[in-house]
Amino acid sequence: MMKVEGLRSCWERVGGLFYFGRMLDKIRLHARGQLPAEYLAVMADGFDGRTCRYLHVDHDALSAVVLDGASDEQALAWCLENGRTLSEEDILIFNSFMSKRGWRDDETQSYIPKLKGDYGFAENDRIVTDFDVIEADEGRPTDVWRRAWDLE
């Protein structure tokens, strides 16, 4: 299990967006030498890359803004000014895609089962998405989606 102090949950929102704050945490932790090597392979790729591509910003440029002292909200404002603006529907589409990645899509048959096996969760049928794997690996509950979507 990989618990990283200062790395927030995928489900926490910044400006309504899931995952964005986690990406910023990874940028800050990496700059301080506190991000484990396992995370470095997907810096600016994986969900970080998808987030930046969705926002139409370059990860390195965003990193420079963050490392210059921008708060989470300031970093998002920079993205919206230098990339694309987001409507409420754009945020819903992003959150829906990110939170359900691995469930009933091209990752379902092979990638998610392999990932679950690699992390020791092969027998856990409640883990069905990338978010679930990340949260379980970092020691957080995987059943927080209702709260994250404000459905409770």
- The answer for 46, left when phi > 0, alpha when psi is -120 to 50, beta otherwise, is left
Task: Supply the mean pLDDT for the chain.
Answer: 94
* pLDDT given at position 1: 61
Residue with tokens 């995987």: 142
Using CB atoms within 10 Å of the CB of residue 150, give its burial: 0 to 12 exposed, 13 to 18 middle, 19+ buried.
Answer: exposed
Beta strands in 8-143 (DSSP E): 13-14, 17-18
pLDDT tens per residue, range 16-47: 999 999 999 999 999 999 999 988 887 888 99
